[in-house]
Amino acid sequence: MHNSITTTATIIRPYSDIFEATLPNGKKTLAHFSRATAHLREQIQPGMKVTVEMTTFDFDVARIISIVED
């Protein structure tokens, strides 16, 4: 993604095809999967940390790119 920011987020709750997540600064965002990472959908649970990618123009939507391993 051009002009993107990558950070971690904590999953709060699932919706139908997206997840509500909290960024490190406390802001909430809606996180979704790309087709390449759709296989991770079954593994995501509230409280898990994920790596997300966002554009520099819109922090309200993020793309989940991986699960953070503890």
Q: Across residues 12-40, what is the average pLDDT?
A: 92
What's the sign of the alpha-carbon dihedral 66, 58, 3, 38? positive
How high is the pLDDT of residue 35? 85
How high is the pLDDT of residue 2? 67
Q: How far apart are CA 1 and CA 9, in angstroms?
A: 18
Q: How far apart are CA 35 and CA 12, in angstroms?
A: 22
The CATH architecture one would assign to domain 4-67 is Beta Barrel (2.40)
Give 27 or 16, the one with higher predicted confidence.
27
Q: Which residue has the tokens 């909290």?
A: 22
pLDDT tens for 51-60 read 999 998 898 9
pTM of the model: 0.87
Report residue 25's pLDDT band, with 50, 70 and 90 as the boundaries.
very high
32, 64 Cβ separation under 8 angstroms: yes
User: What contacts 45, CB < 8 A, 6 or more positions away?
Assistant: 11
Domain ranges of the chain: 4-67
